[in-house]
C-alpha cells in the first residue's frame, strides 16, 4: 500500500474525502445539537405542564413537585413507573404518530438527515465522476500516443506528469519511443549503407565484367592459337578472382557497417596471431624476396577475435609487401606497456604523399602516384573497421627517411 499512496491522484482523493467527511461530520454534530436543544425545550415544556396541572389540583404540593420531578430515580422506581403507565395503555410499543409533538420533531429531524445524506451522495458521485473522467482522459491520451506510434509518428509529448505510477509509465513510454527512434534511424542508416554497398559492387564490377565479355567474345569469334587461348583464360581467371575478392570484401565491409558481425573476443596471444598472418603471406614475400622481420619483447595477450584481427593484419602487411621494393624488409614491431598495446608495420618502399595521407583509409581510394592497376582500395578500409571494432585505432605516417608506418594502438583504459 505504501507504494500506491505515493501517487498524487490517490493523495488528492484521500485529502478531498477527508475534508468532505470532516465537513459533514461537523454538520451532523450541529444538527444533533440543535435537535437536542429542541428536545430539551420540549422536555421543559412538558414538565411545566405537569407542574401546572398538579399545582392546580393539589396546591399543597407546589413546593414538593419540582424537586420530585428533577430528582434522579432508581431502576426499581423506573420499572414501577413503567408498570403504572402500562395500566393506562402507555408503553414503548405505541406508534410515534400517537405523540403529535414528538412525531413532528422526528419527521423534521429525519428530513434534515435525509437531505444531508443526499447532498453527501451527490458530492461523492461528482467526485467519483471527476476521478473517472481524469483517468479515462489519461487512457485516451495514452491510446492516442500508441496509435501515433503504430502509424509511425514518433513525435509524441507525454510530459506533465510529475510523480507516481502514471509518471513512471509515461517516462517508460517516452524512453521506448526514443529507443524506437534510434532503431529507426539506425535502420535507415543501414539501408543507405546497403544501397551504397550494392552501388559500389555494381560500379566496381563493370570493368572486370566488360573485360570478361571482351575475352569471351574474342575466344568465341577468333581463331586463336593454343598459347593465346591459354593466355586469355589466365587473364579471365585473374578477373574472376578479382571479382570474387571484391564482392567478399565489400560484403564484409557492409556487415561491419551495420553491426551484423558479432566479434567473439577472447584473451589470446597477439604474437601468435601476427606470426600466423606472416605465414599466410609467405607466398607474397617469396615473389618479391621480401624479408618480414617481427620484433617483440615478450608474449603479449589481448582480448581479440583471432580470425577477424588476422584479416585486418593481413590487409595491412600485404599492403606493405606490395609497396616495398624487391629484396627489402617489412618490419613489424610489437610494443606493450601499462598504457597501450601497439603494432607498427613499416616498409621503405613507396611513400604516401601528404595529400593522400588523410584519405588512405577511404573506400576505393587510390593514391595519386600509384602505378598498380590491380588494386581496388578497400583492404585498408576493411582493416580500419575491424581494428575499431576491437576498440583500437589506426594511423599512418610516411616520409623519405623513415618510410611508411601503419600504427595500430589498443588503449588499456
* pLDDT, tens digit, 9 for 90 and up, residues 318-376: 989 988 888 899 999 999 999 999 999 999 888 888 888 888 888 777 766 665 555 56
Q: What residues pair up with 304 in beta bridges, in sequence order?
A: 266
Q: Considering the chain, what is the average pLDDT of its residues?
A: 81
pLDDT of 183 higher than 90: no
Cβ atoms 361, 378 nearer than 8 A = no
Question: What's the pLDDT band for 248 if we cut at 50, 70, 90?
Answer: confident
**Count of CB atoms situated within 10 Å of the CB of 395:** 13
The cell numbers describing 302, all together, are 589481448
Question: What's the pLDDT band for 4 if we cut at 50, 70, 90?
Answer: low
Backbone angles phi, psi at 176, to 5 degrees: -60, -40
Pure H helices in 61-163: 62-70, 75-86, 100-150
pLDDT of residue 41: 80
More confident residue, 54 or 301: 301
pLDDT of residue 81: 76
Which helix or strand (DSSP H or E) is residue 371 part of?
A: none
Could you give the CA distance from residue 276 to residue 271 in angstroms, rounded to a whole number?
9
- How far apart, in Å, are the Cα atoms of 139 and each of 132, 133, 142? 10, 10, 5
pLDDT of 286 higher than 90: no
pLDDT of residue 374: 56
pLDDT of 189 higher than 80: no
pLDDT of residue 299: 92
pLDDT of residue 316: 93
Question: What's the pLDDT band for 159 if we cut at 50, 70, 90?
Answer: low
Which helix or strand (DSSP H or E) is residue 191 part of?
A: helix 164-221
Could you give the CA distance from residue 335 to residue 346 in angstroms, rounded to a whole number?
14
Cβ atoms 345, 405 nearer than 8 A = yes
pLDDT of 106 higher than 60: yes
pLDDT of residue 304: 92
pLDDT of residue 267: 93
pLDDT of residue 363: 75
The residue-averaged pLDDT of 219-226 equals 82
**Among 113-122, 168-177, 322-331, 395-404, where is mean pLDDT lowest?**
168-177
Q: What is the pTM of this model?
A: 0.53
The residue-averaged pLDDT of 55-79 equals 77
pLDDT of 87 higher than 60: yes
Cβ atoms 204, 363 nearer than 8 A = no
The torsion of the CA quartet 272, 278, 283, 287, rounded to 10 degrees, works out to: -160
Could you give the CA distance from residue 31 to residue 310 in angstroms, rounded to a whole number?
94
pLDDT of 2 higher than 60: no
pLDDT of residue 178: 82
Amino acid at each position: 500500500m505504501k507504494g500506491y499512496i505515493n501517487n498524487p491522484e490517490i493523495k488528492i482523493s484521500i485529502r478531498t474525502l477527508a475534508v468532505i467527511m470532516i465537513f459533514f461530520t461537523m454538520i451532523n454534530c450541529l444538527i444533533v445539537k440543535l435537535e437536542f436543544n429542541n428536545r430539551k425545550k420540549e422536555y421543559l415544556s412538558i414538565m411545566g405542564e405537569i407542574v401546572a396541572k398538579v399545582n392546580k389540583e393539589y396546591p399543597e404540593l407546589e413546593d414538593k413537585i419540582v424537586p420530585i420531578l428533577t430528582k434522579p430515580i432508581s431502576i426499581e422506581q423506573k420499572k414501577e413507573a413503567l408498570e403504572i403507565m402500562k395500566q393506562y395503555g402507555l408503553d414503548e410499543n405505541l406508534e410515534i404518530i400517537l405523540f403529535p409533538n414528538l412525531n413532528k420533531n422526528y419527521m423534521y429531524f429525519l428530513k434534515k438527515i435525509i437531505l444531508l445524506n443526499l447532498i453527501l451522495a451527490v458530492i461523492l458521485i461528482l467526485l467519483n465522476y471527476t476521478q473517472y473522467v481524469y483517468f479515462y482522459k489519461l487512457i485516451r491520451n495514452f491510446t492516442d500516443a500508441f496509435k501515433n506510434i503504430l502509424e509511425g509518428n514518433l513525435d509524441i509529448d507525454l510530459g506533465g506528469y510529475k510523480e507516481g505510477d502514471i509518471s513512471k509509465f509515461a517516462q517508460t513510454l517516452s524512453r521506448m519511443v526514443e529507443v524506437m527512434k534510434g532503431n529507426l534511424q539506425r535502420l535507415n542508416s543501414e539501408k543507405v549503407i546497403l544501397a551504397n554497398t550494392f552501388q559500389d559492387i555494381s560500379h566496381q564490377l563493370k570493368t572486370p565484367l566488360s573485360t570478361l565479355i571482351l575475352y569471351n567474345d574474342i575466344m568465341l569469334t577468333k581463331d586463336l592459337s593454343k598459347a593465346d587461348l591459354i593466355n586469355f583464360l589466365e587473364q579471365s581467371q585473374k578477373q574472376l578472382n578479382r571479382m570474387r575478392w571484391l564482392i567478399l570484401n565489400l560484403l564484409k565491409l557492409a556487415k561491419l557497417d551495420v553491426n551484423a558481425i558479432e566479434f567473439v573476443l577472447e584473451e589470446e596471444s597477439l604474437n601468435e596471431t601476427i606470426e600466423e598472418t606472416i605465414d599466410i603471406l609467405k607466398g607474397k614475400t617469396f615473389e618479391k624476396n621480401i624479408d618480414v622481420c617481427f620484433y617483440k619483447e615478450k608474449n603479449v595477450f589481448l582480448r581479440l577475435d583471432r580470425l577477424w584481427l588476422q584479416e585486418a593484419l593481413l590487409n595491412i602487411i600485404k599492403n606493405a609487401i606490395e609497396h616495398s621494393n624487391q629484396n627489402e624488409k617489412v618490419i613489424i614491431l610489437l610494443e606493450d606497456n601499462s598504457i597501450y598495446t601497439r603494432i607498427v608495420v613499416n616498409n621503405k618502399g613507396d611513400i604516401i604523399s601528404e595529400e593522400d595521407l588523410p584519405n588512405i583509409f577511404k573506400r576505393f581510394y587510390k593514391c595519386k602516384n600509384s602505378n598498380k592497376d590491380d588494386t581496388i582500395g578497400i583492404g585498408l578500409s576493411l582493416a580500419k573497421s575491424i581494428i575499431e571494432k576491437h576498440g583500437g585505432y589506426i594511423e599512418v605516417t610516411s616520409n623519405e627517411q623513415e618510410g611508411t608506418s601503419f600504427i595500430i594502438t589498443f588503449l588499456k583504459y
